[in-house]
Amino acid sequence: MDVKQREVRPFSVSGLRVRTCNAAEQQPDTARIGPMWEQFFVEDIFDKIPHKQPDSFMYGVYSNYESDASGHFDVTAGVAVTAPSEDFPQVQVEGGDYLVFSAKGAMPDSVIQTWGLIWAYFKDNPQVCRTFATDFEVYTSPDSVSVYIGIQDSDGFSRSSN
């Protein structure tokens, strides 16, 4: 898998939000992320969020981590915004260094497989430490996703700005 390091400037995303944990997401009766995304599409939330940045992509933002990959966290499905909205919660994506994992293919299978590869990557590379501050998915087309994982300062990767 092609992994790149990028520096990201802070930005805000508004949309739907759920709180969950990876263990809950493994069971269909307790999973919350899939139903949230279904609501996002069925109710056409993308077009209903006020203050959307022009040409915003669709984002899935992971934030408010309780601890690490085993703890609870928030997931927000939304768009980049220029101002808060009363109707939709907002999350601030932290600026800093991120590793970017990109994939193409049918959703949601492609993004689920990408997360599996991300977990394997960090297991195989313990010298690279996640920040567990904010991580995010960027959906640039119906079959293309890039997952940005916040990391502590690290050397050894090609760097580019977004």
Burial class (CB in 10 A: 0-12, 13-18, 19+), 20: middle
Q: What confidence score (pLDDT) does residue 110 get?
A: 94
Domain span holding position 112: 3-161
pLDDT of 156 reads 47
Beta-strand pair 130-141/58-63 = antiparallel
Task: State residue 154's pLDDT score.
Answer: 58
49 confidence band (pLDDT: 50, 70, 90): very high
Q: Is 5 exposed, middle or buried (0-12, 13-18, 19+ CB in 10 A)?
A: middle
Chain segment 8-46, per-residue pLDDT in tens: 999 999 999 999 999 999 999 999 999 999 999 999 999
The string over 104-127, giving b where at least 16 C-beta atoms fall within 10 Å of a residue's C-beta and e elsewhere, is eeebeeebeebbeebeeeeeeeee
Percent of the chain with pLDDT over 90: 91
Q: Which residues, 6+ apart, have CB-to-CB distance to 147 below 8 Å?
A: 100, 101, 102, 103, 111, 114, 115, 118, 135, 136, 137, 138
Which range among 20-24, 66-70, 72-76, 98-102 shows the weakest confidence by mean pLDDT?
A: 66-70
pTM comes to 0.92
| CATH code of residue 157 | 3.20.80.10
Structural domain count of the chain: 1
More confident residue, 105 or 162: 105
* Cβ neighbours of 101 (radius 10 Å): 21
